[in-house]
């Protein structure tokens, strides 16, 4: 099954209606990780996953019809043959007719390529903007499927808050999409510690492929997710923070263990990452209720509740605190 066939069943037409469009999508952090595809071109995952959005942190995509294609990221024009631009326009070509040229301005409020899911928010924002430009008026479920074809995690960035991605079983992927959980948690906090803003030495796609093909530990990964995902979902719905935090931390460490067992090893951690992990363990043992999660990158994300915010800011002055449910 190829993307063109799937898209033909989702998109009502490929004739642009408007000249401009603008949309925002949040970045997201997986609490139960997505690591591994069962089908590459449609970005179909081996397992489900569950994430929380980063509220105002993400990508705004502004699209204008023009006489030539162009992509700007944070006001810097990307070379048309660069990997970033090639991937982006290959995706746009699935959505637009031949001869429809678009100038696309992506403004990111998270570091690009550093393990903070900037590609997820970028593709989700692009799908929402294209929905406006072509006046498709697609339901969020279909937008989630479209975003997934651009970048797997993007299907979760269509929504705010806690979001679960259903793995699905169909070959066409029409049952693999994200849905938001009906859960507000005003006290829930995410702390971002940026160890490095540089692009990752091994991209997520290559890291997943290498792990699946060479890591003996990967055989246990689907069973790990099968245990962790329902526990995290229930913890979110019950506001059971100790269960959520401990399960999310173990899930993240298990994912990184499978990468390290690959050959050559996929190691995203840097010495500063490990220092933070050790310090968080010490803080927890001394009574501060804080947990960590890490995606495919060196940066560490702290999970905690609002009552711990002051102490953690004193411990980590550079901590960027995100409130996913402001005013909830």
Q: Note the pLDDT of residue 213.
A: 97
Reply yes or no on whether the pLDDT at 114 is more than 80.
Answer: no
Mean pLDDT within 78-100: 94
Output the pLDDT for position 117: 57
Residue carrying structure tokens 């408007």: 18
Instruction: Judge whether 250 lies within some domain.
Output: yes
In this prediction, residue 110 has a pLDDT band, given cuts at 50, 70 and 90, of confident
For the domain that residue 287 is a member of, what is the CATH number?
3.30.70.890
pLDDT for the residue 306: 97
Statement to judge: residues 55 and 169 lie in one domain:
yes
Percentage of residues in the chain with pLDDT exceeding 70? 97
- Specify whether 135 is located in the same domain as 250: no
Residue at a domain's end among 180, 204, 236: 180
Same domain, 174 and 193: no
CA proximity to 152, closest of 218, 203, 193, 221: 203
| pLDDT at position 103 over 50 | yes
Summary mean pLDDT of the chain: 94
- Res. 113 pLDDT band, cuts 50 70 90: very low
d(CA 123, CA 39): 19
Residue with tokens 């301005």: 105
Please report, rounded to a whole number, the percentage of residues in the chain having pLDDT higher than 90: 88
82 is in which domain, residue-wise? 3-180
Count structural domains, the chain.
2
Instruction: For residue range 271-305, list pLDDT tens digits in order.
Output: 999 999 999 999 999 999 999 999 988 999 999 99
Residue 196 pLDDT: 81
**Chain centre to alpha carbon of residue 316:** 24
Say yes or no: 16 and 127 in one domain.
yes
198, 164: one domain: no
Residue 70 inside a domain? The answer is yes
Least Cα distance to 296 among 265, 318, 267 occurs for 267
Rounded to whole angstroms, the maximal C-alpha distance in the chain is 62
pLDDT at 260 over 90: yes
Q: Give the residue carrying structure tokens 């989630």.
A: 144
Instruction: Give CA separation, 282 vs 69, 122, 271, 323, in Å.
Output: 52, 36, 17, 24
**Residues 68, 8 within the same domain:** yes
DSSP E strands in the chain: the ranges are 20-32, 37-39, 44-45, 49-66, 70-73, 76-77, 101-108, 162-165, 178-180, 188-193, 290-293, 300-305, 320-322
> Cα–Cα distance between 253 and 249 in angstroms, integer?
6
pTM of the model: 0.95
Q: Does residue 328 form part of some domain?
A: no
Q: Are residues 117 and 221 in the same domain?
A: no
Q: Is the pLDDT of residue 16 over 90?
A: yes
DSSP-based three-state secondary structure for 297 = coil
Whether the pLDDT of residue 197 is over 80: the answer is no
What band does 112 get if pLDDT is binned at 50, 70 and 90? low
């Amino acid at each position: 099954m190829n993307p063109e066939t799937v898209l033909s069943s989702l998109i009502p037409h490929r004739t642009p209606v408007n000249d401009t469009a603008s949309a925002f999508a949040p970045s997201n952090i997986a609490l139960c990780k997505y690591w591994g595809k069962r089908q590459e071109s449609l970005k179909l995952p081996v397992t489900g996953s569950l994430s929380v959005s980063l509220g105002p942190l993400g990508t705004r995509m502004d699209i204008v019809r023009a006489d030539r294609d162009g992509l700007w990221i944070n006001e810097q024009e990307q070379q048309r043959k660069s990997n970033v631009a090639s991937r982006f326009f290959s995706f746009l070509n699935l959505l637009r007719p031949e001869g429809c040229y678009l100038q696309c301005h992506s403004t990111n409020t998270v570091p690009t390529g550093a393990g903070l899911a900037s590609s997820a928010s970028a593709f989700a924002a692009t799908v929402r903007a294209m929905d406006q430009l072509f006046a498709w008026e697609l339901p969020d479920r279909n937008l989630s499927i479209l975003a997934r074809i651009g970048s797997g995690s993007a299907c979760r960035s269509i929504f705010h808050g806690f979001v679960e991605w259903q793995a699905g079983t169909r070959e066409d992927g029409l049952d693999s999409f994200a849905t938001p959980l009906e859960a507000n948690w005003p006290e829930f906090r995410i702390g971002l510690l940026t160890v490095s803003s540089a692009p990752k030495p091994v991209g997520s796609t290559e890291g997943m492929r290498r792990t699946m093909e060479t890591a003996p530990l990967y055989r246990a990964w689907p069973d790990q997710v099968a245990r962790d995902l329902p526990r995290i979902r229930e913890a979110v719905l019950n506001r059971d923070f100790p269960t959520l935090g401990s399960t999310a931390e173990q899930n993240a460490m298990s994912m990184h263990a499978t990468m390290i067992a690959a050959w050559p090893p996929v190691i995203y951690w840097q010495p500063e990452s490990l220092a933070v992990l050790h310090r968080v363990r010490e803080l927890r043992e001394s009574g501060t209720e804080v947990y960590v999660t890490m995606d495919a990158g060196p940066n560490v994300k702290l999970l905690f509740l609002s009552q711990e915010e002051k102490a953690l800011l004193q411990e980590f002055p550079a901590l960027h605190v995100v409130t996913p449910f402001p005013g909830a």
